[in-house]
Amino acid sequence: MSSLSERIYFASPIWLQQLAVSSYGWLWYRRRMSRHFYRLVAEYQSRDNWTREQFLAYQEKQLLQLLETADGSPYYQAIFRVSRVDWQLPAFKILAGLPFLSKETLRTRARDLVTQNPVPNSTSVFKSSGTTGTPTEIYYSPEFHALELAVPAVRNLGWAGVSYHSRRVMFGVRKVCRFDQDKPPFWRFSPAEDLAYASVYHLSPKNIPAYLDFLRTYRPDMIMGYPSALHTIAQYAMEHNDKPAPAKAIFTTSETVTEGHRQTIESAWQCKIYDRYGAVEGCMLAFQCEHGRYHVSPEVGIIEIVNTEGYPCSLGELGEVVCTGLQNLLQPLIRYRTGDVARWAIDQTCPCGRQMPILELIEGRVEDICITSDGRQMLRFDTVFKGVENIREAQVVQEQLDLFTICLVPADTFEEHDIQKIKDNMRLHAGEVRVDVHLVDQIERTASGKFRAVICKLRQDEKDRVLNRVSE
């Protein structure tokens, strides 16, 4: 919704807001659940049990088409000329010789990446908020938009035994209530989708009982949303013996799911979490199967994991995720630096039998890698809170090379000695560093409602200086 429509929406009474959400949901449903959707679902289902060789053959064929189409955009015409692309080479070799596409280039030159001029009238342009000024513009054709639902329908919902026809509740980014609304309902309905969209901005201890009452009445088959929001509800439910109605499956996205969060959420809703890894850019998708392993969908994009020098990482080695989307021919993203950090699983087999590549760990963002004075790079701080069970939320912020701030939302049973335990654990984890622990009522979310467990405030040149010194 535009800023004007948002102002009108939030100034309206709840019944009119509900009518607006219903209408918007119907239009949204019609666009995405189109003829493209059902065709794509059938195609992805037919490839679900392909061999690795079949997936590679598909990727090579689709990549060649993508490269040839990209040559029609102003940006890639220049890139291919500078890179002296030899079109007689195999597609994968051409790809390996191309430079990375940065987020900054995508932000500032999004239109130059588009392969059709004028842009078709049926195109939708979506903007991701990101963490820096200018939003990223992603161009979606109707078919590419349908793919955003079709692939998860097969490899996320389908693997969990549910579908988009199942009743669901979404705890996501959209602001469906006024910020100052202090009484329920904190949710709005989209009947066309059999969906209730619940606000993540009103999850205070005062309001959570109303959410739980609603969940027991509405009885959704599946729960979707940010893991931090679901954990807030689940933790309250377990502490107060006030559980929601059991669900068939839970689908999380956009944030790293910690093991502690997983256990609490699954206990509250009495079903499994099926996490999803993707982004608005649409150049990669990975889903957890019933055995908890992250399978990449090879038809969506080619994923590379590279080290700080830009070279491929070995299996099990942590690096930055670089992806080439294979399906967006309108705005190709070739070797796009996502800023995410992950690693390939050393064991590329899974009891489920599917032969899609397996990501072992999706850690977070490159800019949130903390570094110690001895050159160790860290993203996860789970062990810092080992033995301290009475914390609702925690965020680790690296202020300086030897200074960390830990923000905690304490539970009622939190005591002074827990602070010392956390400081001791932190020093065992990160070495001789200074640790400040701040108790807060809540931890601030990003503009899009996401929770960041780790924030590093060091500049990249500071990190590079430490790494260079250690390697000498």
Q: Over range 235-247, report the average pLDDT.
A: 94
| Contact between 229 and 200 (Cβ < 8 Å) | yes
Handedness of CA 297, 303, 307, 312 (dihedral sign): positive
pTM above 0.85, yes or no: no
Q: What is the pLDDT of residue 178?
A: 85
Q: Which pLDDT band, with edges at 50, 70 and 90, does 157 fall under?
A: very high
DSSP secondary structure, 370-392, as one string:
EE-TT--EE---GGGGTT---EE
Q: Over range 56-69, report the average pLDDT.
A: 97
363-384 burial, b at 16+ Cβ within 10 Å, e below that, comes to bbbbbbbbbbeeeeebbbbeeb
Q: What is the pLDDT of residue 78?
A: 96
Q: What is the pLDDT of residue 388?
A: 82
Q: Over range 199-217, report the average pLDDT.
A: 91
Q: Which pLDDT band, with edges at 50, 70 and 90, does 57 fall under?
A: very high
Q: Which pLDDT band, with edges at 50, 70 and 90, does 289 fall under?
A: very high
DSSP-assigned letter for residue 241:
T
**For the segment 308-349, what is each residue's pLDDT rounded down to a tens digit?**
889 999 999 988 999 999 999 999 999 999 888 899 999 999
Q: What is the pLDDT of residue 471?
A: 52
Higher-confidence position of 448 and 261 = 261
- Homologous superfamily of 33-166+221-366: ANL, N-terminal domain (3.40.50.12780)
Q: What is the pLDDT of residue 133?
A: 40
Mean of the per-residue pLDDT values of the chain: 88
Q: By percentage, how much of the chain surpasses pLDDT 90?
A: 58
Q: Over range 227-232, report the average pLDDT.
A: 87
- Specify the domain boundaries for CATH 3.40.50.12780 within the chain: 33-166+221-366
Q: Over range 382-396, report the average pLDDT.
A: 80
Q: What is the pLDDT of residue 300?
A: 97
Q: What is the pLDDT of residue 470?
A: 57
Q: Determine the residue type at 344.
A: W
Task: Return d(Cα 222, Cα 203) in angstroms, integer.
Answer: 19
3-state secondary structure 161-206: CCCCCCCEEEEECCCCCCCCCCCCCCEEEEHHHCEEEEECCCCCCC
Q: Over range 290-297, report the average pLDDT.
A: 96
Q: What is the pLDDT of residue 7?
A: 83
DSSP-assigned letter for residue 449:
S
Q: What is the pLDDT of residue 128?
A: 65
Nearest to 326 by CA among 99, 74, 95: 95
Q: What is the pLDDT of residue 335?
A: 97
**For the segment 2-14, what is each residue's pLDDT rounded down to a tens digit?**
567 878 888 899 9
Residue 302 has a CB neighbour count (10 Å cut-off) of 25
Q: Which pLDDT band, with edges at 50, 70 and 90, does 380 fall under?
A: low
| Contact between 411 and 391 (Cβ < 8 Å) | yes
Tell me which of 28-42, 127-141, 266-280 is least confident: 127-141
**For the segment 444-462, what is each residue's pLDDT rounded down to a tens digit?**
876 656 677 888 888 878 8
Interior CA angle at 120 toward 117 and 122, to 5°?
A: 160
Q: What is the pLDDT of residue 464?
A: 76
Task: Identify the burial level of 263 via C-beta atoms within 10 angstroms of its C-beta, where 0-12 means exposed, 13-18 middle and 19 or more buried.
Answer: middle
> Does residue 440 have a pLDDT over 60?
yes
- Specify the domain boundaries for CATH 3.30.300 within the chain: 369-471
Q: Over range 397-426, report the average pLDDT.
A: 89
**Topology adopted by domain 369-471:** GMP Synthetase; Chain A, domain 3 (3.30.300)
